[in-house]
Structure 1
Amino acid sequence: MNINSQTFLVLVCNLLFLSIQAQSKPEIDSLQAYLLKSTNKESYSYDTRLDFVYKAKQMAMVQDIDSLIIKSNLQLSSMYYDSRQYILFKKVNDENLKIANKVRDSSALAAINFNLGDYYNFYRKTDSTYYYYHKSEKLYKALKDDYHTAIVLLNIAVLQKNEKDFIGSEVTSIDAISLLEPMEETNDVIKYKSFIYNNLGLVFDQLQQYEESIIYNKKAIELKRRLRGNNKATIDNSLNNLALAYKNSGQYDLAIQYYNEILENNNLKNQRPDFYALVLDNYANALYLSNNLDQLPKLYLKALKICDSIGASYNSIIINQHLAEYYNDHHNKDSAKYFAYRAKDISEDYHNDDLLKSLLLLTKIEEDSLAVKHYNAYIKLNDSLVQNERTIRNKFARIRFETKEIEQKNIQIAKEKMWLIIISIILLVTALLIYIIITQRAKNNELQFVQKQQAANEEIYNLMLSQQERIEEARTLEKKHISQELHDGVLGRLFGTRLSLDSLNMGTSEDAIKTRGRYIQDLKKIEEDIRKVSHELNTDFISGSGYLDIIKTLLETQTTAYELDYTFNYDDSINWDDISNKNKIHIYRIIQESIHNIYKHANATLLKIGFELKKNVICLTITDNGSGFDVNKTKSGIGLKNINARVKEINGEIFITSEKEIGTTVKINVPI
């Protein structure tokens, strides 16, 4: 008994469909719609449904989504199986196996291995069939998918029964039914339970435990009667199995009763001629065993004629055996030999129990040396079949052992990988922590250095300001002293002289009057000049210009050292007293670094520096007439990096333009 995998594959496809349902792209929606339509047998023909699957697979390949390619291939393989295109069925599952292994899709791998088991089962390659079914079973067990595990176990149990591993088939069937028993009794669960009970009925019949066989066959029939839809064919199969158990147990009347129930269907001969011939032969044989010979051999010959007409040669073997047995009992040796040899000739193509029965039958029909010859052939074939059955059972056991061994190795490898991953993570985390600690220390050192540098800059600037203040204070005192001397000394004496001359101006001579007048005017001019100088000296006309004096000193010192000419222009509206010391220090350092860079790299002869105030922003421009450079290609050196860092520190902006052989201009905007 081979379980049709169509329903099974559709269920697997539905599971995979749910696994990608979260994706909402229009293309994926269209693809899923195609796959859904491909399962609708009532609305679309086979060719149309096949075209839907091809379109879905093409879209999945264009989008390069492995899960959708796998799903499309599963549906495609289901359709190939239904249409008996087994070569294409194998090809698409081999392709699917590679993709599923790549993405480690356990659900898909379980379904694909089941499909490959079906393929090798069709070609009766027992080893490969069992191997792939067993792999599928292990995968479904790992996924804790009891339903599909039970279906795979059913197929394994059927395979074991066919290979006469009856005890193994019984154990496997019980494992399968134990998985289905706790489940809700859906139509599919009931169906597969009935199949398992059906297999147990056949197993116990072969073990000659007929009471158990009858119990399980009745359970199978009871479940099949509960299934939805038209299940007449599968119910008839179980009724035939039940009747066979009754016949083999010697309860011929009950066997005949169930055979008659099946044969009451007038359409059976047209609908299922092969099954009709099988039941008719079993019915005739039950009549024969109950010594009810009125319809014999007519029924046997009718069954045989049907098999010959439809080419069911395998089913005709047992009918020929029954006819040979019947004619031999009625001493019609020629007819007995004819049908016995015919059974033997057909069964030689299969080389199984049917050939064994044919040889045993010929030992009863033939006489003397021919009987001995057939008996020897019987003994040899029996030994061969027994050995083959033992070999098959050993292969099953070896496959289970090797699979378990592989699983143990995989578990060990998985553990080793896990420890390797854990150790790698620990090392990575340790390395990361060490890196963070070292980086943090470096940052702390850098921060401390910056803080120290800033403190040093502040101290330098304060010293510069203090020195400038002392200079200015000395200048102021000196100016006051000079003013006081001019005012109290020279100006006083000049004023006394003017008064004396005024008193002498009383002379009446014309020359005296002119001379005195001229001197008096000269003295007045001197007095005004001295008063003007005194007033200017006493005025603090350089108040607020201390920072610019520092800049001028810097320019004079460095341009002299670097042999550069320079111009310095500034906007008098800039109130440097409102600018923070931090900003002034950075501006000072920027100018200092820029002059150094010009000397070092530009080969310039002229330097222009200017300050402007635009919309509460101080604009510093530094221009040289040097060799210039390509701003986009030249890497920033330490000097330029320092300038950029300082500009960033005072929240400024820097713009650099340069032309080769013309020069470079650096513009820095600093908000107040």
Structure 2
Amino acid sequence: MAAIQQTQGDYTSSESTATEAIPFFDKTTDNQYKIAIYNTLGINYVNLFDYDNSIYYYNQAFNLAEDELQKAILKNNVAVVYMEKQDYPNAISILTPLVSIKKVTDNDENYARILDNLGFSYFKTGNSKKGLDYINQALKIREQIKDDFGITTSYYHLSDFYNKTNPVLSYHYAKASYAKATKINNANDRLESLEQLIKNSTGNQSKKFTTNYLHINDSLNKVRQKAKNQFAKIKYDSTKEKNENLKLKTQKAENDLLLEQEKNRSLTSYIIIVLVSSFLLFLYYYLTTKGKREKAKAVYDSETRISKKLHDELANDVYQTMAFVETQDLQNPVKKENLLGSLDKIYARTRNISRENSEIETGINFEEELKEMLSGYNNNQIKIIIKDNGDINWIKIQTEKKIALYRVLQELMVNMKKHSQCSFAAVSFDSNEKFIQIDYADNGVGMNNTQILKNGLHNVENRIQSINGTITFDIETNKGFKAKIAIPK
């Protein structure tokens, strides 16, 4: 499952699924399964730009590997992480010993991959002669074994190599890389090749490559999102069926137990059962009545809050729109456009009210729901960045704290969208022995104490205090807005 999600580019979900497999490891588990999981996590983390975790899991896999070729492949993966970090000297120190291992040199595909990475690293450290030699050696092997995926990478590296010294040759290799990537239908490599072509072209040609890049990138995002949604449904249906089967088995076991007890029940048992049943009935009645009262109060509070939002945020917009329709000539394109804008504004407010008052999933899917809520504020004007090192065990966090935190972050995001005028906002999650720590920051206009009260952020403070947490605001105007939240575990 994690491998499929990774192939579809859903690295966050793949990381979550792979992590679910780790608790099943025991002394009898074949090391190959462990290596596969750790390698999957290493790939996920490098694509999520969490390089330290990527190196950690590659090394975990390396420590379990017994085959020399497999060890070399994992070491190459670690070197790739250092290349992503632009730490090319470290990458060279890891790759150099690998080219002397017989099992590596006997395996053309992996030998070419290591040579190519080594050559590119030498090029990036300024040793162009040595770099070009290794890259060409790798290309020759790949052409001999007809490794189109590898040839695409070699052409791309050669294009980068000649980018400054020979733009014409750089353009030639970028175009060759793009052609190979198109042949094997590798969208990511096509995008990288198009970036090189854009760098080495001008005018209409550059515009053509840019348009092609945007089209492929948009199509790739749509395909990945569709795959993500389909996979989520498959997991949901599977879990639902499994739970229903478990429920039926539980009911059958309970029925069998009741029948057995019925056969062996004595007078004393009858008395005990009557007493226990009476107590349970009383307790059930008491708890049910109490629950109904609490639920009625919660419904009332929720209805009051929604009613206030409808009156304060929606009613005026609807009234103004009705007045506009009654008094304006809607055949006029400008007036018609204004009407559509007003309707869109009303729709957005309605959707936000619905989102803010929807039920919150507090079970095993809480983390995914929380991140999806935060990502939902991502648009063409605002980029949302989520950083999570994955060390928070949300299952052990109390439901009340999850709900409070969800609503607090939701209110911060709503405030950001309404008032901050920012182009990006970042939310990071961290944890220590005693606290969960969440940091929010944006590059907007910031606010002072008066604006915090005016914008309703005092509700945020009340929510955090209700779960014995703390929240502090950075109120330097025109330097963005920051909030630090600490919640006891």
TM-score, normalised via structure 1 length: 0.36
TM-score by length of 2: 0.49
Larger Rg computed on CA atoms: 1
Q: Identify which of structures 1 and 2 has the higher relative contact order when contacts are C-alpha pairs closer than 8 Å and 6+ apart.
A: 2
